[in-house]
């Protein structure tokens, strides 16, 4: 047993400081009251850093605008909403960690997210089980699995890939008049399922699918993959995946001499596709959600967003806004009936699922029994001169 | 079958380009091992840092569209080499030298720690400076030309050229200069070299400086080839380059070059032909690494010191 020494004192002091910091970090604040108003928390979960940040930040910004817009109505119903955006880095492990934390924090009443189906697949069940059914609405998940797994707390306002993939295939065969397609995907839940849906319908329409191939996402070198694609000499190359993989991939396939069209899903819907792909992104089609920014509420949103964030709203900004608005409207309705107290999570999720005819800016939202929004339509866009041009709705048959 | 042969020139050229990058990074690993019998796991992050410096230089010149691509490339290369070399030197002084007397495992763990540290520092710094840790640069020398029925971009040819120049320069330096001779002496027997009047510490510092500079050059070339950088590109490159160095005989400079090119070729060939070879079972390039690493294992079983390495007996 030694006596007092500086080294031991320092070591002890350091341990005490570390424990204190850890304890302070762990202690979350739950809803208290702010004067007369009940404080509740909402979160967005989307990638705020990394290759897909442009879409994730759009969702966060849209949601933030919705909270600002409804502040007065919320106060009238007795609530002060605190916004805590989360960064899932498009990684399922990170998303699940975030979900555990939010599930345990009783102050949260709702979540808007995610961008990626693969990340949402880990979050929704955690919120369902450990989170006592905390409600979650997605502005961007298109993976079919999300509403086929019995998660009563999960809803989405966008279409599913078993609708998006075939719509793209019909457009490719009937409008672009491609006869052979080479189908690629990024091996994620979203990308692979979407590519398979496309391939199935394309073959049904009468086209030939030369091959279906998975590539590693976010790699640098796609030389071998590009060579293999060129060897099959397809009219069209379909890619199920996100723009941060598509950009370099398309570039390297063009470098090998590909003159045909590229096609993909809503994961390609970002200005960064042109930034990353450059010239190669010309003649790329993609199916996605649409927004009318020229008239009425759409234009008002566009101007508001531009003023607040100094940038044009990316595809999912409007959908982030609408999702948050649905949660907030349901909160207001609940508050008016129950005197502004924190809602029971399972009850609130049931109420959100029962949303009917909500006039969101993007569409009129009614959730069906599974949590899907049947009114969401698929539009086709084409990259021309570095800008995405709306080519109209995809063929229905 | 004819389709397979038709793509062969393209596959070979792709393999050589990727292999050239592996080779230059492998040089850094092999040099440090040769002199210190130490695997510098942080070398991959020094490469990554060089790639970021290169990217910043390219982006600096991006608005000047009339400028010949030569200017950003050369300035980017030089700046990346200088700064990555300095980083390599600094890492040795801070993280390895204080552990010089410790058991072998300790500096190795330190190196792994430095590796993670650099990843996070770069990520934090660029998020603070640019708002995101992923950078995309413009294309330099990206015009395509056709060589022997294969499409190749001018920049790929330039990368192979620069890689060859760097390897030759290193070889000349190590074999013909006084400092190079001192390095070989320290590599052979550190204690005796010290007795011969060689400043061992200075030689070790120079080794890390040179290794870092090579890593930085490889980084700038990587940025030119792929135009997208993030803090995690070092990880995969490090594993591949280290494998290449071991494959060619770690400690042997020619071995690193040969190993790098071989690994690149095996990857490209495996990627293109593994599907047809296994009758469609292992389709797609996901499994291309199987071929590369299987060959590594085979070589190490039959020739543990690598293709060009010498079997060095245990020093008593």
Q: Which residues of A touch B291 (CB under 8 A)?
A: none
Kindly report the pTM of this predicted structure. 0.83
Q: Residues A123, A227: one domain?
A: no
What is the number of structural domains in chain A?
2
Q: Tell me the pLDDT of chain A averaged across its residues.
A: 90
Q: Residues A181, A152: one domain?
A: no
Among candidates A189, A196, A258, which has minimal Cα distance to A217? A189
Label residue A2 by pLDDT band (50, 70, 90): low
Task: State pLDDT tens for residues B130-149.
Answer: 888 888 888 888 888 887 77
Q: Residues A331, A344: one domain?
A: yes
Q: Which of B3, B17, B267 sits opposite A231 (nearest CB)?
A: B3
Is pLDDT of B311 > 70?
no
**pLDDT of the residue at B21:** 93
**A215 at B interface, C-beta within 8 A:** yes
**pLDDT of the residue at B104:** 86
**pLDDT of the residue at B3:** 65
Q: Residues A269, A389: one domain?
A: yes
The CATH number linked to A388 is 3.40.50.2300
Please state, as a whole number, how many other Cβ atoms lie within 10 Å of the Cβ of residue A165: 27
Q: Examine residue A106 and state whether it is found in any structural domain, yes or no.
A: yes
**pLDDT of the residue at A269:** 92
Q: Residues A227, A317: one domain?
A: no
Q: Residues A172, A270: one domain?
A: yes
Q: Is A240 helix (H, G, I), strand (E, B) or coil?
A: strand
**A255 at B interface, C-beta within 8 A:** yes
Token pair of B142 as six digits: 């990206």
By percentage, how much of chain B surpasses pLDDT 70? 92
Q: Residues A277, A300: one domain?
A: no
Average pLDDT over residues A307-312: 92
Is pLDDT of B16 > 60?
yes
Q: Examine residue A18 and state whether it is found in any structural domain, yes or no.
A: no
Q: Which residues of A touch B288 (CB under 8 A)?
A: 224
Q: Examine residue A9 and state whether it is found in any structural domain, yes or no.
A: no
Q: Examine residue A25 and state whether it is found in any structural domain, yes or no.
A: no
Is pLDDT of B36 > 50?
yes
**pLDDT of the residue at A33:** 47
Task: State pLDDT tens for residues A358-384.
Answer: 999 988 999 999 999 998 889 999 999
Q: Residues A259, A116: one domain?
A: no
Q: Examine residue A4 and state whether it is found in any structural domain, yes or no.
A: no
Rounded Cα distance, B39 and B90, in Å: 16
**pLDDT of the residue at B314:** 41
Q: Residues A235, A259: one domain?
A: yes
**pLDDT of the residue at A279:** 87
**pLDDT of the residue at B214:** 95
Beta strands at A236-240 and A180-185: parallel, antiparallel or unpaired: parallel
- Pick the range with the lowest mean pLDDT from A34-43, B42-51, B79-88, B246-255: A34-43
Q: Residues A85, A188: one domain?
A: no
Q: Residues A298, A237: one domain?
A: no
**A214 at B interface, C-beta within 8 A:** yes
CA distance, residue B79 to nearest chain A CA (Å): 23
Q: Examine residue A32 and state whether it is found in any structural domain, yes or no.
A: no
**B45 at A interface, C-beta within 8 A:** no
Cis amide leading into A114 (omega within 30)? yes
Is pLDDT of B259 > 80?
yes
**Triad A130, A78, A135: Cα angle to 5°:** 25
Average pLDDT over residues A132-137: 94
Task: State pLDDT tens for residues B179-201.
Answer: 999 999 998 888 899 999 999 99
A261-264, strands of its sheet edge to edge: A208-214, A180-185, A236-240, A261-264, A284-288, A379-384, A387-393
**B263 at A interface, C-beta within 8 A:** no
Verify whether the Cβ–Cβ distance B133 to A50 is below 8 Å.
Answer: yes
Q: Is A303 helix (H, G, I), strand (E, B) or coil?
A: helix
**A62 at B interface, C-beta within 8 A:** no
Q: Examine residue A92 and state whether it is found in any structural domain, yes or no.
A: yes
By CA distance, what is B226's nearest residue in A? A220
Q: Residues A230, A184: one domain?
A: yes
Name the residue range of residue A203's domain: 162-288+379-393
Rounded Cα distance, A108 and A30, in Å: 8
Q: Examine residue A6 and state whether it is found in any structural domain, yes or no.
A: no
Is pLDDT of B316 > 50?
no
């Amino acid at each position: 047993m030694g006596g007092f020494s500086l080294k031991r004192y320092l070591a002890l002091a350091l341990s005490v400081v570390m424990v204190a910091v850890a304890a302070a970090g762990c202690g979350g604040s739950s809803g208290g009251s702010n004067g007369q108003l009940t404080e509740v928390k909402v979160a967005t979960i989307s990638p705020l850093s990394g290759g897909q940040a442009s879409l994730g930040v759009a969702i966060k910004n849209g949601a933030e605008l919705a909270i600002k817009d409804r502040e007065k109505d919320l106060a009238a119903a007795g609530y002060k909403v605190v916004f805590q955006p989360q960064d899932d880095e498009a990684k399922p492990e990170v998303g699940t960690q975030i979900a555990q934390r939010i599930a345990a924090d009783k102050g949260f009443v709702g979540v808007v997210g995610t961008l990626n189906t693969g990340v949402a697949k880990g979050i929704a069940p955690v919120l369902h089980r450990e989170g006592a059914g905390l409600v979650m609405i997605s502005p961007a998940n298109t993976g079919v699995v999300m509403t086929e797994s019995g998660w009563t707390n999960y809803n989405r306002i966008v279409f599913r890939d078993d609708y998006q993939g075939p719509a793209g295939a019909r457009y490719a065969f009937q409008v672009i008049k491609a006869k052979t397609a080479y189908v690629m995907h990024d091996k994620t839940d979203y990308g692979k399922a979407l590519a398979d849906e496309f391939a199935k319908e394309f073959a049904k329409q009468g086209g030939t699918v030369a091959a279906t191939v998975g590539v590693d996402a976010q790699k640098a070198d796609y030389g071998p993959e590009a060579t293999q694609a060129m060897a099959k000499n397809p009219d069209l190359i379909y890619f199920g995946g996100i723009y941060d993989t598509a950009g370099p991939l398309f570039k390297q396939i063009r470098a090998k001499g590909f003159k045909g069209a590229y096609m993909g899903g809503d994961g390609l819907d970002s200005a960064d596709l042109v930034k990353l792909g450059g010239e190669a992104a010309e003649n790329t089609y993609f199916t996605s959600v649409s927004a009318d920014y020229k008239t009425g509420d759409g234009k008002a949103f566009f101007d508001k967003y531009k003023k607040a964030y100094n940038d044009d709203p990316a595809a999912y900004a409007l959908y982030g806004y609408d999702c948050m608005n649905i949660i907030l409207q349901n909160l207001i309705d609940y508050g008016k009936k129950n005197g502004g107290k924190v809602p029971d999570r399972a009850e609130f999720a049931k109420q959100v699922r029962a949303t009917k005819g909500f006039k969101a800016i993007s569409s009129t939202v009614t959730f069906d029994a599974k949590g899907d929004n049947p009114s969401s339509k698929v539009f086709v866009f084409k990259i021309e001169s570095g800008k995405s041009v709306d080519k109209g709705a995809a063929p229905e048959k | 079958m004819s389709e397979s042969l038709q793509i062969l020139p393209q596959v070979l050229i792709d393999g050589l380009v990727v292999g050239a990058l592996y080779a230059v990074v492998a040089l850094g690993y092999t040099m440090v091992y040769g002199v210190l019998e130490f695997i510098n796991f942080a070398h991959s992050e020094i490469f990554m840092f060089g790639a970021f410096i290169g990217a910043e230089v390219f982006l600096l010149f991006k608005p000047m569209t009339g400028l010949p691509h030569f200017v950003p490339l050369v300035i980017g290369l030089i700046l990346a080499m200088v700064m990555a070399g300095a980083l390599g030197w600094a890492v040795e002084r801070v993280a390895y030298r204080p552990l010089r007397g410790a058991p072998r495992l300790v500096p190795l763990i330190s190196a792994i720690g430095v590796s993670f540290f650099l990843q996070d520092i770069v990520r934090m710094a660029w998020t603070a400076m640019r708002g995101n840790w992923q950078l995309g640069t413009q294309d330099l020398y990206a015009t395509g030309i056709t060589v022997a029925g294969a499409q190749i971009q001018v920049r790929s040819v330039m990368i192979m050229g620069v890689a060859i120049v760097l390897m030759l320069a290193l070889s000349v330096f190590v074999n013909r200069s006084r400092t190079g001779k001192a390095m070989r002496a320290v590599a052979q027997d550190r204690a005796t070299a010290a007795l011969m009047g060689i400043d061992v510490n200075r030689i070790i510092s120079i080794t890390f400086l040179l290794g870092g500079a090579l890593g930085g050059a490889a980084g700038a070339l990587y940025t030119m080839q792929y135009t997208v950088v993030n803090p995690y590109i070092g990880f995969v490159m490090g594993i591949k380059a280290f494998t290449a160095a071991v494959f060619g005989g770690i400690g042997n400079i020619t071995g690193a070059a040969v190993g790098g090119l071989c690994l690149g070729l095996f990857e490209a060939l495996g990627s293109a032909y593994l599907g047809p070879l296994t009758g469609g079972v292992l389709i797609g390039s996901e499994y291309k690494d199987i071929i590369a690493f299987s060959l590594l294992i085979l070589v190490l079983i039959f020739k543990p010191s690598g293709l060009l390495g010498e079997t060095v007996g245990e020093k008593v």
